[in-house]
Amino acid sequence: MGERTSYEPGTFSWGDLATSDQEAAKSFYSDLFGWSANDMPVGDDTTYSMMQLDGKDVAAIAPQPQQQREAGAPSSWNSYVTVESADAAADKASQLGATVHAPAFDVMEAGRMAVIQDPQGAFFMVWEPKGHIGAGRVNGPGLLCWNELATSDVDAATAFYGELFGWTTEPYEGSPMPYQVIQSEGRANGGIRGLTEGEPVPYWLVYFGIDDIESGLSRAQELEGTKLMGPADIGNAKIGMIQDPQGAIFAIFDGQFAD
């Protein structure tokens, strides 16, 4: 389980859940992963729940923004990529054909971020850290361990993110479908694949580690989550996909973790 005190630019560093029922989501994920919540006021009657494991921030759960609710958007997990400058990253993303839904803004003293939709339609965030680097621990049970883009155009997405973050990709030969492993600074940093049946729009999928895939999938269902896939053997691990009771999709990973 890797402890982190910083992240290199271009590295996934954080995940948070925008949900229609914050208290129910906190209960679901706390029971599934052993998280505890540190509720932080961020406005009138609004809290940002830092989810912790062994005292370290590992993810967050927040109310879904009102505009998303009004648009009928489902609850969803958001993937954050560390950058040197959120302003510069948002400007460059726009030049590359992305839509900047929220230009760079300060998140109190924690950092600066922007909300971006890539040219194929997947949302992601860029994070310029100040007081908060992102996850204090990764790559273990109950911890963020992978981020995966499901897209309608793998080649175009690979080119876009390569230009934006300097990523390169390598094919994962053991995958039953074409799969590109993202490389950043010589380290595997996520994956890119095509949309599968039942995935109507491009999106970034977050993975959390689990001790045992079978018990993890069973426990999620006992907690009124829905098993969407798995367990699937991908050679170096077993994975599963779950939809939480509020509709957000995430994945679990049972295998050997990176440092």
- Domain end position, chosen among 67, 98, 129: 129
CB 58 within 8 A of CB 51: yes
Using 50, 70 and 90 to split pLDDT, how confident is the model at 87? very high
Whether residue 209 sits in one domain with residue 191: yes
Using 50, 70 and 90 to split pLDDT, how confident is the model at 18? very high
Q: What is the mean pLDDT of residues 243-250?
A: 97
What CATH code is carried by the domain that includes residue 143?
3.10.180.10
Whether residue 16 sits in one domain with residue 112: yes
Tokens of 254: 């049972």
238 vs 187, higher pLDDT: 238
pLDDT for the residue 1: 55
Distance CA 62, CA 23 (A): 9
174 vs 142, higher pLDDT: 142
Tell whether the model's pLDDT for residue 66 goes beyond 90. no
Whether residue 246 sits in one domain with residue 144: yes
Structure-token match 């967050």, residue found: 60
In this structure, of 57-71, 87-101, 192-206, the range with the lowest mean pLDDT score is 57-71
Looking at the structure of the chain, the number of domains it has is: 2
Q: How is residue 20 annotated by DSSP?
A: S
pLDDT for the residue 199: 87
Tell whether the model's pLDDT for residue 60 goes beyond 80. yes
Q: What digits encode the pLDDT tens for the residues 157-180?
A: 999 999 999 999 999 886 777 899
Whether residue 11 sits in one domain with residue 116: yes
Q: What is the mean pLDDT of the chain?
A: 93
Whether residue 170 sits in one domain with residue 93: no
Angle at 258 between CA 251 and CA 203, to 5 degrees: 30
Residue 182, Cα to own-chain centre: how many angstroms?
Answer: 15
The full DSSP string for 108-173 is TTTEEEEEEE-TTS-EEEEEEESS--S-SEESSBTSEEEEEEEES-HHHHHHHHHHHH--EEEE-T
Q: What digits encode the pLDDT tens for the residues 26-50?
A: 999 999 999 999 999 887 788 999 9
Whether residue 144 sits in one domain with residue 100: no
pLDDT for the residue 72: 74
Distance CA 182, CA 149 (A): 10
- pLDDT > 90 fraction of the chain, expressed in percent and rounded: 80
Distance CA 96, CA 246 (A): 33
Q: How is residue 258 annotated by DSSP?
A: P
31 - beta bridge partners? none
Q: Which segment, 69-78, 174-183, 198-207, is predicted with the most confidence on average?
A: 198-207
Tell whether the model's pLDDT for residue 103 goes beyond 80. yes
pLDDT for the residue 178: 84
Whether residue 49 sits in one domain with residue 18: yes
CA distance between the termini of the chain = 6
Q: Residue 48: give the domain boundaries.
A: 2-129
Distance CA 87, CA 113 (A): 8
Structure-token match 């005190």, residue found: 5
Q: What is the mean pLDDT of residues 209-217?
A: 96
Whether residue 197 sits in one domain with residue 107: no
Helices (H), the chain: 22-33, 66-70, 86-95, 154-165, 213-222
Specify the pTM: 0.95
Whether residue 229 sits in one domain with residue 157: yes
Whether residue 124 sits in one domain with residue 16: yes
